[in-house]
Amino acid sequence: MVKIGVLGLQGAIREHVRSIETAGAEAAVIKHKEELADIDGLILPGGESTTMRRLIDKYDFFEPLKAFGQAGKPIFGTCAGLILLANQIVGQEKPHLGLMDIKVERNAFGRQRESFEAELAIKGVADDFEAVFIRAPQIEAVGNEVEVLAEYQGSIVAAKQGHYLCSSFHPELTDDHRLTEYFVKMVEK
């Protein structure tokens, strides 16, 4: 059984753990950089990307997270996690981890009160995935190696590049675990 970690600094940690376990994998909350050595894949949860980056720096996670991804270990970034993975962020000079060849815009669908749910077709996952968008980013552009998995009203909201997966929405906030199952299969491969 593969072991998937959830970066446990901020965000919907408990919900991701439940989703990983429902998808048939072992889950671990990662609070120390040394724990990255014990897992096969990692989820960067939603939350607030600037706060998460401060915590990543405070707990000396930055280089270990980059090395984890560069070593070929799968990483799934949801909402703020997607922003952490992007190599370009609109209105920001430098990216965070910069592991995925995507350009993102933060809060592209509005503030907290504009949160919504929408049914999406996600390539290789589902034709009817109920996605929860909360202060969600959108992917404005993708590199040649990036596969677009889902769009909402013309905006890219899910993508994959090799062993990296990202979504603008929160798959962990519903009882539909098919996107987490898709990531578990990526980790198993």
Are 28 and 4 a contacting pair, CB within 8 Å? Answer: yes
d(CA 18, CA 80): 19
Q: Tell me the CA distances in angstroms from 47 to 117, 126, 163, one per residue in order.
A: 17, 25, 22
Q: Tell me the CA distances in angstroms from 105 to 82, 90, 166, 168, one per residue in order.
A: 10, 5, 14, 10
Are 132 and 169 a contacting pair, CB within 8 Å? Answer: yes
Active site residues: 79, 170, 172
Q: Tell me the CA distances in angstroms from 94 to 106, 137, 189, one per residue in order.
A: 14, 17, 32
Amino acid (one-letter) located at 150:
A
Residues 6+ apart with CB under 8 A from 36: 5, 30, 42, 64, 65, 68
**Rg over CA atoms, the chain:** 15
